[in-house]
Amino acid sequence: MEEKAMIKANSQTTRCKTEKFLQIISAIIIPLVIAIATIVITVQQNRYNQATRENDLDIAQKQREQDLLIANQTREQDRELNTRQRQQEQNLADQQRQETLLDNYIRDTSQLILSLNFSYTYEIREYIFRPQALAVLRQLDAKRKTNVILFLHESGLLSSGEDPISLVGANLDGLILDIEEDTAFHPFLFDLALSYTSLVNASFNNRQLRYADFRYTQMRGVSFKGTTLLSADFYAANLRNAKFSNANLRGADFSSTDLTGCDLSDKQLYNEILTLDDAILPDGKTLGKAPNIIINGDAELGSISGWNLENRNNITAAKYKNQTNQAYGQWYFQVNGNTTQLNMWQRIDVSSYANMVRYGGIQMVLSMEASPSDSTCKMYVKTFDSHNAELQNEIQILSKLEVEGDFLYTSGVLPCRRDTNLIDIAIQTFGAKIIDNIHVSLKHSGYSIG
């Protein structure tokens, strides 16, 4: 019994000690866990707070940047708005100034024209009308320049047939003289004289510009779509990339022009244009040539058609045998029998060259070939005006320029008067048995004959 009581007492003692130990441990661990949990929560809270502050700072920074951007954009928009407004006001003021300038010019010039009863001396044209026109053109835009040009033309001051005023050096770039095909407004601007001016990217679509004077003009990119340019003069004009679709170019002078990049058709180039002498053709490489105004000068008609002779038995057309030189074609003129002196002549109507010739500086270039090489060749030239009055009567002994085999190439030059309408050409040879390639062309020389 005592042993059981002792065991029971020991067990109770051990349980008491364990309970006491657990109480001690609990008293230590629980605060420790609470402390650790508190630390962890505090750290997490601090991190959260830090992240929140950083996010708030980032949001605040972005908001400040956004506000700054909006403020800058607003200022820029205000600045652009103010600039556009100032430009509009300046443009409006400039438009009003130009309109007033144009109105005053037309009114004052009209009054002067009326006071002169449309009779203008050289001094009035040169020292009053010309400087006034150039002065106003320098201050106007392309649209109002168009009005000035139309006014001057309608007043007879820019008509090439009436001693026009000179607008040398005038900047008329972008001039717009188009008309619609179905418009009721008359399209006629005959004899328009704008030589020595700049007409880059100007437009004359569907206009009637017969006998227009565009000599020495800068006309890059100009448009002549559907335009009638009968006998117009483009001598030495820069016409790069010009547009000529459906334009009528019959009788127009394109000597020494630059036609690089133009849309000219073969019909326009070779059937309509009067002369392409020394012109740069649309391919930018080939040079044009002056046409031969002689009829059947190379006997290629297979006859002596076109020629007058003292004795038609003295000469016949014959075919070359084994001819390899394309320059001579297939036919030539053969002098028959014992004929030592040959006379043949023809009259040439050059009225189609009248607009080209009237400015002066045109020469007649004469050439022919004969065999044997010791032959002598002369050309007798007479010129007449439109009333058949004789202007020139000259003899040109053709110079020996080249001998190829038994052929002699000869050439000569004579001036052509401004009012030439008909040319009589007479060929005289001594000792020639073969004659070929008789050629007469009208070319610009750079000097003027009255």
Question: Which residues face 341 on adjacent strands?
Answer: 430
pLDDT for the residue numbered 10: 63
Sorting pLDDT into bands at 50, 70 and 90, what band is 350?
very high
Q: What pLDDT shows up at residue 229?
A: 96
> What is the pLDDT, as a whole number, of residue 266?
94
- pLDDT computed for residue 168 by the predictor: 94
Q: Any residues with CB less than 8 A from the CB of 366 and at least 6 apart, and which?
A: 379, 381, 396, 398, 411, 412, 413, 414, 425, 439, 440
> Residues 58-79: what's their mean pLDDT?
84
b/e 118-145 (16+ beta carbons within 10 angstroms → b):
eebeeeebeebbbeebbebbeebeeebb
Is 213's pLDDT higher than 90?
Answer: yes
DSSP 447: S
Q: Who's near 412: CB < 8 A, 6+ residues apart?
A: 365, 366, 367, 379, 396, 397, 398, 399
| Residue 11 pLDDT exceeds 70 | no
Torsion sign over Cα 92, 98, 102, 108 = positive
pLDDT at 9 over 80: no
pLDDT tens across 166-189, in order?
999 999 999 999 987 655 556 789
Is 223 within 8 Å of 245 (Cβ atoms)? no
Task: Say what the pTM is.
Answer: 0.78
What pLDDT shows up at residue 35? 77
Question: Is cis: bond before 187, omega within 30 of 0?
Answer: no
* Number of CB atoms found within 10 A of residue 185's CB: 7
Supply φ then ψ for residue 445, to 5 degrees.
-115, -20
Structure tokens that stand for 43 in this block: 């750290």
Place of tokens 């438009």: 95
- Alpha helical stretches, state H, 226-341: 266-267
**Residue of 182 and 344 predicted with greater confidence:** 344
Which range is most confident: 37-41, 241-245, 318-322, 376-380?
241-245
Q: How far is CA 358 from the centre of its chain?
A: 26
pLDDT at 161 over 80: no
The confidence band for 441, taking pLDDT boundaries of 50, 70 and 90, is very high
Per-residue pLDDT at 118 exceeds 90: no
Of residues 124 and 25, more confidently modeled = 124
- DSSP count for the chain of H helices, then E strands: 6, 11
Query: At which residue do the structure tokens 């962890």 appear?
Result: 40
Instruction: Give the model's pLDDT for residue 120.
Output: 84
146 pLDDT above the threshold of 90: yes
Q: What is the pLDDT of residue 450?
A: 40
* Mean pLDDT for the stretch of residues 150-171: 90
Q: How far apart are CA 390 and CA 373, in angstroms?
A: 34
Residues 6+ away with beta carbon under 8 Å from 311: none
Looking at residues 221-225, what average pLDDT do you find? 97
How sure is the predictor about 50, in pLDDT bands with cuts at 50, 70 and 90? confident
Would you place residue 311 in the very low, low, confident or very high pLDDT band (cuts 50, 70, 90)? confident
The three-state (H, E, C) secondary structure of 89-154, written as one string: HHHHHHHHHHHHHHHHHHHHHHHHHHHCCCCCCHHHHHHHHHHHHHHHHCCCCHHHHHHHHHHHHH
Query: What percent of the chain lies above the pLDDT cut of 90?
Result: 56
Instruction: Look at residue 350 and give its three-state secondary structure.
Output: coil
Of 20-29, 40-49, 434-443, highest mean pLDDT: 434-443
